[in-house]
Amino acid sequence: MSVAPLSEPLGGVAASLHAAGAAAAYWHPVIDSAALRDKPQAVQLMDHAVVLWRDAQGQAHAWADRCPHRGARLSLGRVCEGQLECAYHGWRFAETGRCVHVPALPEFVPPAGHSAQIFAAQEAYGLVWVRLVNGAHSLPLFSAESDAGLRKVNCGPYDVATSAPRIVENFLDMAHFAFVHAGWLGERGRSAVADYTVQATATGLLATNCWAWQPQSHVHSTQGAMVEYRYEVTAPYAAVLTKVPQPDTTATAAWRESIALFICPLTAQTSRVWFRLAVADFDSPDTTLQAFQHTIFTQDQPVLESQSPSCLPLDPRAEAHTAADKASAAYRRFLQGAAISFGTC
């Protein structure tokens, strides 16, 4: 775990961390845990090239993907005896980031300055999470995670050509159901959005008493139903929805589900998206549950990628709003208050 040096003159990594703004101090998902094995992996987070690797204990590490010697990508290297070895001149780095061996000078003891830049990393929800700058923020909460009556399945990642905030806003939006998801999460004749409640929270917002008519609200729906939604923004680029259909409209008794949206902001205008499903279904194959979510999200994706600008405008005058958009308005106010500049404009 490390502190990214923001006190040095702004250049190189420090300048790009500065450009990442307040969002750099939050945790962001970067890769499926299962995809990080014995080889280093290159990922991108907020315009930063990051190398991920596992030490001898299996612990995940995230470093700037740049060797401090001559700038080669550390992700081209390999893991050797629990250390990361650069592909260029074979310098070896311990899990602290410190260079511990220079093969061209075997007796040389590298000083502290011969260190890779390290970031904080941890694993949760089947994903590896990275924070570029240390701060007080916790991982986004997914309260369904600890509910033993719900099975968890990840869906994604999806690479989407828009900003993370546009994707969160779409996730909170009920007025598009009747159009983008006609026949599934809405239908044209029943497009009205009844008034709902929105309140600001420490991590974003909570929207409750949200109701939608849905012809096929989930994979086991047997008929159209009124469905109650609850939305929570749990971090600038993360949200959770919980939806409960009217009784007797589903093939499984006491169906309930929560879906977490986790987004990696690759750049300000490109994103990698995961959904974590928590569902009262321990029988269906993963692929059945993932296929439903895939159908829904691939309906959203072309519209999301069409939105202009790709960044989310925080100036209320930049786009037109109605009362049905009050969750999105609250989300924009939250981003503004939290000084989230990455992915907004």
- Name the residues that contact ligand FES, by CB under 6 A: 67, 69-70, 72, 86, 88-89, 91
Shortest CB 54 distance to ligand FES, Å: 20
**Partner interacting with residue 89 (select from Fe ion, ligand FES, none; CB below 5-8 Å by kind):** ligand FES
Shortest CB 135 distance to Fe ion, Å: 31
Shortest CB 71 distance to ligand FES, Å: 6
* Pick from 45, 44, 43, 272: nearest CA to 53: 43
Shortest CB 71 distance to Fe ion, Å: 42
**Partner interacting with residue 70 (select from Fe ion, ligand FES, none; CB below 5-8 Å by kind):** ligand FES
- Is 232 among the residues that bind Fe ion (CB under 5 A)? no
Contacting residue, 85, 187, 300, 325, with Fe ion by CB under 5 A: 300
Shortest CB 36 distance to ligand FES, Å: 21
User: What is the footprint of Fe ion within residues 137-166 (CB under 5 A)?
Assistant: none
One symbol per residue from 255 to 294: x for binding Fe ion (CB under 5 A), - otherwise; what is it? ----------------------------------------
**Partner interacting with residue 86 (select from Fe ion, ligand FES, none; CB below 5-8 Å by kind):** ligand FES
**Partner interacting with residue 39 (select from ligand FES, Fe ion, none; CB below 5-8 Å by kind):** none
User: HEC states along the chain?
Assistant: CCCCCCCCCCCHHHHHHHHHHHHHHCCEEEEEHHHCCCCCEEEEECCEEEEEEECCCCCEEEEECCCCCCCCCHHHCEEECCEEECCCCCCEECCCCEEEECCCCCCCCCCCCCECCEEEEEEECCEEEEECCCCCCCCCCCHHHHCCCCEEEEEEEEEECCCHHHHHHHHCCCCCHHHHCECCCECHHHCCCCCCEEEEECCEEEEEEEEEEECCCCCCECCCEEEEEEEEEEECCEEEEEEEECCCCECCCCCCEEEEEEEEEEECCEEEEEEEEEECCCCCCHHHHHHHHHHHHHHHHHHHHHCCCCCECCCCCCCCCCHHHHHHHHHHHHHHHCCCCCCEC
In the bound state with ligand FES, the residue whose beta carbon lies nearer, of 74 and 227, is 74
**Partner interacting with residue 25 (select from Fe ion, ligand FES, none; CB below 5-8 Å by kind):** none
In the bound state with ligand FES, the residue whose beta carbon lies nearer, of 71 and 302, is 71
**Partner interacting with residue 345 (select from ligand FES, Fe ion, none; CB below 5-8 Å by kind):** none
**Partner interacting with residue 300 (select from Fe ion, ligand FES, none; CB below 5-8 Å by kind):** Fe ion
In the bound state with ligand FES, the residue whose beta carbon lies nearer, of 78 and 294, is 78
